[in-house]
Every structure is written in C-alpha cells, then in structure tokens.
Amino acid sequence: MTALQKIQSEITSLSRDDYRSLRRWFWERDWQEWDRQIEKDSAAGKLDFLVEEAFAAKKQGRLRELP
C-alpha cells in the first residue's frame, strides 16, 4: 500500500467533523499558496498589465463606483 493509499484510507475513516476540519485545512492551505503566488507574480511585474488596463479604463471613463 502506497503512502497515498494509506492517507486515503485514513480519510475515509474520519468522523464527519474531522473530515470537515481536514477540508477546511486544505482550503486554507490552497488559499495561502494562492496568496504567495499572487505576491510573487506581482513582485515580478507579471500583473502590471492589470494596473495599466485599469488606468486606461479610468482615462476612457469606463470605470464605475462599486456599490
């Protein structure tokens, strides 16, 4: 049995509450990774095009206030 198969077996035996906690942990971990990647891309200038698009849209009067 591989490590993954062991983990999968353990997951299927979790109580409903423990399973929900595990899912929440994975969800939070995914969002933390997403945040790190966004910060890395921003620092590298990979998102500069978004700022440029926003300034162009503002100049053209295509922006609106958020409700």
Is residue 8 situated within a structural domain? Answer: no
Task: For residues 7-23, give the mean pLDDT.
Answer: 97
Residue 25 lies in a domain: yes
pTM to 2 decimals? 0.63
Question: Is there a domain that residue 6 lies in?
Answer: no
pLDDT band at 63 (very low <50, low <70, confident <90, very high): confident
Local confidence band at 65 (pLDDT 50, 70, 90 cut-offs): confident
Q: Which pLDDT belongs to residue 20?
A: 98
| Number of domains forming the structure of the chain | 1
Domain-embedded: residue 9 = no
Cα separations (Å) of 33 from 19, 26, 39, 41? Answer: 21, 11, 10, 12
Tabulate helix, strand, coil % of the chain (nearest 5): 75, 0, 25
> Per-residue pLDDT tens for 29-62?
999 999 999 999 999 999 999 999 999 999 999 9
Structural domain that includes position 52: 14-59
